[in-house]
Amino acid sequence: MQNILNDLPGALAIAIVDISSGMTLASHSNSTINPETAAAYNTEVVKQKQKAMQALKLQGESIEDILITLTNQLHLIKLVDDSKKFIYLVVNSRDTNLAIAREVLRSQNDLLK
């Protein structure tokens, strides 16, 4: 996780979350955002989408990431470890562009395997 913080020094919050429990395995915040609180809600978001996909009976599909755009912030949820975990990252959209943030998460993904 330190690698992500090094590459994205403007990150407002970051966490690694276990989907089955909704609990953080590691987290860091540079802001008022509480990563544990965010982790719980974001876990529900992931589970809801997985439920929706079951209703569609999509074959060979899985969620890679979820990007939530707020007025000034980007909240990214990147699923890793065979959809058992996700990396949660919050950046200010003025400081960090989406492509960079996603690329940083993608390149760090291997460390979690």
Partner 1 sequence: MGLFSNLPFLKRNAPEPAPAPAAEEPLAAPAAEPVPAPEPVAPVAATTPAPELAAPATPLAAPEISSQSRAQAEEIVRGVVAELPDFITVAVVASATGQILAGQWAGHSGGAVEVATAHAEIVHQVRQAIEALQLAPAEQLEDIVINLRRQLHLLQVLPQQGWLLYLAIRTQDTNLALARTVLRQHAT
Figure out which of the listed residues 26, 49, 103, 107 binds partner 1, where binding follows CB under 8 A: 49
Instruction: For CA atoms 22, 67, 75, 112, give the dihedral sign.
Output: positive
List the structure tokens of 59: 């074959």
Confirm or reject binding of residue 38 to partner 1 (CB under 8 A): yes
Confirm or reject binding of residue 20 to partner 1 (CB under 8 A): no
- Closest to partner 1 by CB, 6 or 10: 10
Figure out which of the listed residues 6, 21, 72, 83 binds partner 1, where binding follows CB under 8 A: 72
State the Cα torsion 35-108-111-30 to the nearest 10°: -30
